[in-house]
Structures are given as C-alpha cells and as structure tokens.
C-alpha cells in the first residue's frame, strides 16, 4: 500500500484565519501544510496536486465557487473542504452536490470538525489505496497463464479460445464435467477482459432454491412478497458494467428460462414487484455440465434461450484426457498449499507420479487438488510417496458394485447414503465426496425425481 | 463587561505563547488595516468592496467574541451584499467600528502587552 504524507493547501485571504488554520493543521506531523492568501497564488501550484484543499468561499481575486470548479477540473481526486463565514444552506448544498467533501462554518468547533473530516478523508484514501492494490492482485491472480494451467493440446486450445473472448462482449458458454474449472475460466475471462475493473458476479443456479432464484437474479421491491422487507437489487444489476456468470444454467426452471431470455433480448430487467424496467450492460458467461441440446430434446431447456446463449462455446476437457497436465497441476497445488501453510515444498516420487497419472479423476481438477492436499498433510516424508496418494473411489465398499446398476445410479446411491450419514448437510457431503455443492444439489433434484429416492429413503431410514 | 473573550484562542494556541502573541498582533494590525480599506472604499463609493473588507474583519472578531464589532460589521457586509448600504449609513457604521475597535484594542493592550 502506498505510504505517503498528506499535503493540505490552505486558501484563505484572511491572515488571522489563515494562520490559525495552518497552526491547527500543523500540529499533526503527518501533514504538510501550504498556505495561500489568493486564488492566483494557489493556481500556480495546482500541478503539485495536494491531497486536500481548505477553501474560503470569498477570495479577493476569484470566487470560491470558480476556484473550486478549477480544482475539480484539474484533478477530481483532490478533496476540498469549504471553510465559510456564511452559514448559508443553499451555498453549502451547492458545493456538496458538486463534490466538496465538507462545508464548515468558521465557528468555535471548527478545529474539531476539520480534524474529523480530514480523518475521514484519510481513511477513505487508505481504503482506496488498498482497493487499488487488491484489484491489481486479483488481475495478477487471474493472469491467463497463471490461471489456465497445463501443456496439453486440449488446454492450449482452451487458452486460445479464451483469448478470442477478451476484447468483445460475446456471450460465452463453458461446458465440462464437474471440477474441470468452469468458474475459474469464467473469472479468467472477466479479469483479462475490457470489463475487468467492474464486478464479476457469479450465481450458481443449482444452489439456489427455485422460489428464490428470480429475486436473486432480478431483485425485488420492498413488500413485493412475504419476507421482502427491503428493496434488494439483483445479480444483473450488481454485475452492471461487469460480468454475470450463471453457473449450472441447465438447472434453471423453464418458467425462469423465459424471463432470462427476455432479459437477455431486451437488455433490461424488472425487479419483482416493480413495473419499471432497468437497463443493464453486463457480459454474460454461462456454464453447465449438461448437454443442452439433449436437454432441449427432452423439453427441459428452451431452444430459443439455447440459441440466445450459444455465443462462444468453450468446452473444458476432463482431467483424465489431459495426460501429463495431471503432474503440472499437482505441482501447482503442492506449491500453493506449501506456500499458504508455510511448509517446505515437497516433490512427488516416481511411484506417486504414476499413481496420479493412472487414475481417472471423476471429480477432475477439484479432486486432484483434494488428493494433493491430503497427501501433503498425511505424508511424513520429504517427498510425497505413493502411499500418501489416496483416492475416494478406493474407499468404496466392495459390495456396492455387486448390485446391477448404472454408473449414475451408483453415484446417486452414494450421495443419498452420505446425505443420510451427514444429516442432509450438503456442504459436508460435498466436502466428503470431493464434489461441488452444486453437484450435490443437482443429484438431490435427480433423487427427488426418481424412484431411487424413495427406495433409498426406505432403505437408509430403517 | 469585557469586549472580547480569548478562551478559544488560548485553547487553540495551547502552550505556544509566541503564537498567541502573534495572533493578537495580527488581529490588531489586520483590523486597523481593514478599517482603513473600508474608508478608502467608501471614498471611492465602492460599496461592494466595503462589504468585502467588513467580511474580512468579521471572522477574527467572531473568534474572540467581539460582539459589538460583529454586529456592526455584519450589518455593513449584509446590506452591502444586498446593495442597500447608503454612503451615509456606511460612514456612520465605519465611525462606530473605529471607536469600538479602538476601545477593544486598548483593552487588549492593557491586558496583554
């Protein structure tokens, strides 16, 4: 963070008051104070861009209003506190409307008020500096080369596609199995795009109950429904100027698909309980693990919305098809974990490497990350050895595979069993199975729509 | 009854006696200069400028709670701003200001010099 002093220019034609202000402000050793009796003498120094100007409304050579305008035109970041003999509300309102930080009347409490305002300005300035540093860090964090990691041709192809999306606002559709990094890619697109200085807002459609999703996306007015105690802006408005990432778009109810389509076509949304449409300007990125064309055939996804969204498709490859990328990613996760936890960096033995390379990763990169972190914690050697590598599938009960079921049914059975075991704690189940919470919600939905649910509940409920 | 109150100035100056004395010097000098400027402005019949100088003097007077001076100077400033100050009234007010300022400065010098 930028560490600097704080320069204040006192512009006051009254010698008495000028001296008094300079004396009062000089008591703080962090402040550098410059004194001016006329507007003209200050304007000659304007290029030095002070942090703050205290400005008398009435000056002999120029009105305070005119000088204020010149200061703000020169550099809108210079804060200005108006110091006035007059207690005129309209004058104060006009100055504050035009960007003055405060309007202080020359009265007994001037010292206290002035210091209070300056403290607030300095606190704001520190926050602004901090935000600037963090924004820089975020942009650096999502540098494409640091975000989309891997040397395989599949990943290099993804990188090339992502680069094509950076200089325009085309809607991007990211597909790929769970854990392949759809949100990471969405963030990488945003933080390297022309919208990087605005918000990136992510909404996991599958993780929000259907009755709340409309309010979440479009916002609502106070009193528009039971429990709407305040006005709330939706994610579309939050993302205005930036990027809205709709994860698991395939899980959106048909009725809301129609509303989303309308919003995307008209570039405007209407809060629940309001009749006033609100324009928005956001880049839309959507992601899904589903094959949306298949969803259209089964009537679960609107064809018109599909074509509206199908701007620029990017398909993320499953980790099992990325060959040596497994080791590149493993190294990346080792370095990250060791750095974060301040432990010496470990390397992988050949045996550990082979074990990692010969696994099929149903949970993809997310699963690999968990496997590596577990290995780093469990291992007591300087290197990660084969024994430290443990996959969740290794722990599956052997009898489970004796029943004749499809792979999907096995997955549902496992999730159902874990939900029972952890008292329907979705977060816990997701952690234990090394899958995303969205996946668990999706599977719950699926369980609700199949007989397996009833069967499982009966079985596990005994 | 005292014509002024220096408590606020003393509080702001703290232990800095030098600064306190400097402020009193500035008060005396700038008030006298301001009165002279007002007289010059009146001679030129420049009522607007007269109002400006009245405004300039009034801030320190307020600071030391020189109530009589404040009343006279504010009348000059306000009526000059509204273009309602006649030369006769201005002349009368300036004389009153001179007398009041002279008495106040006399009191100040008696107490602090």
Tens-place pLDDT, residues A203-239: 999 888 877 899 999 999 888 887 788 888 999 999 9
In a domain? residue B88:
yes
In a domain? residue A265:
yes
A232, A234, A247: which is closest to A284 by C-alpha? Answer: A247
- For residue A404, what pLDDT is reported? 61
Could you tell me if A47 and A85 lie in one domain? yes
Judge whether residue A420 has pLDDT over 60. Answer: yes
Could you tell me if A160 and A298 lie in one domain? yes
The CATH number of whichever domain residue A235 belongs to comes to: 3.40.50.300
In the stretch 66-105 of chain B, residues with CB closer than 8 A to chain A read none
Nearest by CB to B12, which of A13, A106, A111?
Answer: A111
| B64-89 tens-digit pLDDT | 999 999 999 999 999 998 999 999 99
In a domain? residue A1:
no
* φ, ψ dihedrals at A383, nearest 5°: -115, 160
Question: Mean per-residue pLDDT for A280-291?
Answer: 92
Where among A77, A102, A136 does a domain terminate? A136
- Residue partners of A114: CB distance under 8 A and separation at least 6: A21, A24, A25, A54, A81, A83, A104
Nearest by CB to B23, which of A14, A16, A107?
Answer: A16
How many structural domains does chain B have? 1
Residues of the domain holding A75: 6-136
Given an 8 Å threshold on Cβ–Cβ distance, is B52 in contact with A60?
Answer: yes
SS3 A380: coil
Give the pLDDT band of residue A317 (cuts 50, 70, 90).
very high
Mean of all residue pLDDT scores within chain A: 87
Whether A136 and A9 have beta carbons less than 8 Å apart is answered as no
User: Rounded to an integer, what distance in angstroms lies between the CA atom of residue B54 and that of residue B75?
Assistant: 9
Ranges of H-type helices in A142-250 = 144-147, 153-164, 182-191, 210-218, 235-238
In a domain? residue A107:
yes
Judge whether residue A461 has pLDDT over 70. Answer: no
Could you tell me if A179 and A280 lie in one domain? yes
- For residue A206, what pLDDT is reported? 86
Nearest by CB to B23, which of A19, A85, A107?
Answer: A19
Could you tell me if A332 and A378 lie in one domain? yes
Could you tell me if A358 and A386 lie in one domain? yes
How distant is the Cα of B108 from the closest Cα of chain A, in angstroms? 16
Question: Mean per-residue pLDDT for A288-292?
Answer: 88
Where among A273, A295, A315 does a domain terminate? A315
Residue showing tokens 């899958």: A435
**A161 or A420, greater pLDDT:** A161
Secondary structure element (H or E) that encloses residue A7, with its range = strand A6-11
How distant is the Cα of A58 from the closest Cα of chain B, in angstroms? 8
DSSP A345: P
Could you tell me if A258 and A353 lie in one domain? no
Q: Does B5 touch chain A (CB under 8 A)?
A: no
| Residues of chain A contacting B62 with CB distance shorter than 8 Å | 85, 106-107
- For residue A450, what pLDDT is reported? 58
Give the pLDDT band of residue A399 (cuts 50, 70, 90).
very low
Residues of the domain holding B43: 7-112
Exposed (0-12), middle (13-18) or buried (19+): which is A323, by Cβ within 10 Å?
Answer: middle
How distant is the Cα of B45 from the closest Cα of chain A, in angstroms? 18
User: What is the Cα Rg of chain A in Å?
Assistant: 30
Where among A136, A151, A177 does a domain terminate? A136
Secondary structure element (H or E) that encloses residue B56, with its range = helix B47-63
- For residue A392, what pLDDT is reported? 66
Q: Which residues of chain B have pLDDT under 70?
A: 113
Given an 8 Å threshold on Cβ–Cβ distance, is B19 in contact with A14?
Answer: no
Could you tell me if A226 and A254 lie in one domain? yes
Could you tell me if A263 and A203 lie in one domain? yes
In a domain? residue B2:
no
| A148-167 tens-digit pLDDT | 899 999 999 999 999 999 99
The CATH number of whichever domain residue A336 belongs to comes to: 1.10.8.60
User: Rounded to an integer, what distance in angstroms lies between the CA atom of residue A280 and that of residue A283?
Assistant: 10
In a domain? residue B93:
yes
Which of A10, A12, A13, A16 to mutate against chain B (most B CBs within 10 Å)? A16
Judge whether residue A454 has pLDDT over 60. Answer: no
Q: Does B40 touch chain A (CB under 8 A)?
A: no
Judge whether residue A295 has pLDDT over 80. Answer: yes
Could you tell me if A147 and A113 lie in one domain? no
- For residue A109, what pLDDT is reported? 82
Question: Mean per-residue pLDDT for A82-96?
Answer: 87
Q: Does B33 touch chain A (CB under 8 A)?
A: no
Judge whether residue A452 has pLDDT over 50. Answer: no
Find the closest chain A residue to B16 by CA distance. A23
Q: How many CB pairs under 8 A join A and B?
A: 41
- For residue A311, what pLDDT is reported? 87
A271, A270, A266: which is closest to A281 by C-alpha? Answer: A266
- For residue B33, what pLDDT is reported? 93
- For residue A185, what pLDDT is reported? 94
How distant is the Cα of B62 from the closest Cα of chain A, in angstroms? 8
How many structural domains does chain A have? 4
């Amino acid at each position: 963070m930028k560490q600097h002093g704080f320069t204040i220019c006192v512009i006051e034609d009254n010698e008495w008051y000028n001296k008094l202000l300079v004396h009062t402000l000089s008591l703080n050793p962090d402040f550098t104070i410059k004194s001016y009796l006329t507007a003209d003498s200050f304007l000659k120094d304007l290029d030095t861009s002070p942090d703050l100007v205290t400005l008398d409304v009435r000056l002999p050579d120029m009105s305070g209003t005119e000088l204020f305008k010149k200061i703000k035109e020169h550099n809108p970041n210079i804060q200005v506190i108006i110091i006035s003999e007059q207690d005129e509300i309209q004058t104060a309102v006009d100055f504050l409307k035009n960007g003055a930080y405060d309007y202080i009347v020359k009265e007994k409490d001037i010292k206290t008020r002035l210091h209070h305002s300056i403290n607030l300005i300095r606190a704001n300035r520190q926050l602004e500096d901090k935000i600037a540093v963090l924004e820089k860090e975020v942009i650096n964090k999502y540098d494409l080369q640091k975000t989309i990691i891997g040397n395989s041709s599949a990943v290099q192809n993804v990188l090339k596609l992502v680069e094509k999306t950076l200089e325009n606002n085309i809607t991007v559709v990211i597909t790929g199995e769970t854990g392949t990094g759809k949100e990471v890619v969405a963030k990488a697109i945003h933080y390297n795009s022309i919208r990087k200085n605005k918000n990136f807002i992510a909404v996991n459609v599958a993780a929000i109950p259907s009755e709340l999703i409309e309010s979440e996306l479009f916002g609502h007015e106070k009193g528009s429904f039971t429990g709407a105690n305040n006005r709330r802006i939706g994610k579309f408005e939050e993302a205005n100027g930036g990027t809205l990432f709709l994860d698991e778009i395939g899980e959106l109810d048909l009725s809301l698909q129609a509303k989303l389509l309308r919003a995307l076509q008209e570039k405007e949304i209407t809060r629940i309980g309001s009749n006033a449409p609100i324009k928005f300007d956001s880049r839309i990125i959507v992601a899904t693990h589903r094959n949306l064309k298949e969803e259209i055939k089964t009537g679960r996804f609107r064809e018109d919305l599909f074509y509206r969204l199908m701007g620029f498709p990017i398909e993320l490859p499953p980790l099992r098809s990325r060959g040596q990328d497994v080791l590149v990613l493993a190294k990346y996760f080792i370095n990250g974990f060791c750095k974060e936890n301040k432990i010496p960096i470990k390397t992988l033995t050949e045996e550990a490497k082979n074990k990692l390379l010969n696994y099929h990763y149903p949970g993809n990169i997310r699963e690999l990350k968990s496997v590596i972190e577990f290995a780093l914690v469990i291992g007591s050697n300087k290197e990660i050895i084969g024994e430290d590598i443990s996959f969740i599938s290794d722990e599956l009960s052997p009898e489970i595979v004796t029943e004749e079921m499809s792979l999907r049914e096995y997955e549902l059975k496992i999730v159902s069993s874990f939900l029972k075991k952890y008292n329907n704690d979705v977060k816990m189940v997701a952690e234990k199975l090394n899958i995303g919470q969205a996946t668990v919600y999706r599977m719950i939905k699926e369980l609700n729509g199949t007989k397996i649910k009833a069967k499982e509940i009966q079985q596990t409920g005994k | 009854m005292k014509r002024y109150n220096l408590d606020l100035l003393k509080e702001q100056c703290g232990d800095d006696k030098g600064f306190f004395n400097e402020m009193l010097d500035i008060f005396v000098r700038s008030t006298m200069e301001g009165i002279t400027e007002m007289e010059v402005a009146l001679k030129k019949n420049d009522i607007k400028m007269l109002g400006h100088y009245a405004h300039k003097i009034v801030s320190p007077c307020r600071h030391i709670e020189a109530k009589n001076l404040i009343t006279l100077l504010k009348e000059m400033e306000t009526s000059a701003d509204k273009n309602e100050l006649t030369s006769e009234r201005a002349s009368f007010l300036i004389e009153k200001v001179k007398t009041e300022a002279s008495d106040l400065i006399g009191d100040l010098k008696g107490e602090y010099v």
